[in-house]
Amino acid sequence: MTTQEILKRITLDLDQIIAYLEGEVGKMRTGRADPSLVLDLKVNCFGQEFTIKQLAIVSTSGAREIVIQPWDVSYIEAILAALGTSSLGSSMLAEKNLIRVSLPFLTEESRKNFLKMLSEKMEEQRVAIRKARDKTWKEIQEHEREGMIREDDKFRAKDELDKLVKKYNERIEELGERKKKEVMA
């Protein structure tokens, strides 16, 4: 296996780390309503567990209201129960064939909590990147010891690996800064 193949493989791993962080950050509540806040919420319906996105159409209606329109009105009670146990801190209104979820304004304390959660999630992904880097560097060193690559290639690959890690850490920072601006707006 060449160093380029090894670096290509870690790039895929790093892309997955960023995609995971984007998903997690997208679920975090800011001052605006966003369907992603409830899409993956687990609903116990007819003895099985579903996500809201499997049971309904979710959209926003205004800056602080999420509208959930179930495929079948029989899902409304189960969805309301799931929303009641969630950490959204919202008020819900069930109408004839839909649910309106009104999100409260964020307090200064809740904004600080969200920023703390964001920092924790960012650090978790930085650690995942470091682990991937260490694993890849060990693999490159092993290939050099076994004579599969030259020493020059090993150090060139290390430089490329460091550049990749720096690039992905910068992406984490950019993502975090964007979300911080949303939370504080």
114-132 confidence digits (pLDDT tens): 888 888 989 999 999 999 9
Does this model's pTM top 0.85?
A: no
Q: What is the pLDDT of residue 88?
A: 65
CATH of 35-102, one of 3.40.50.1820, 3.40.190.80, 3.30.1360.40, 3.40.1160.10: 3.30.1360.40
CATH of 3-27+107-184, one of 1.10.132.20, 1.10.8.190, 3.40.1010.10, 1.20.120.140: 1.10.132.20
Question: Which carries the bigger pLDDT value, residue 102 or residue 14?
Answer: 14
Looking at residue 95, what DSSP letter applies? -
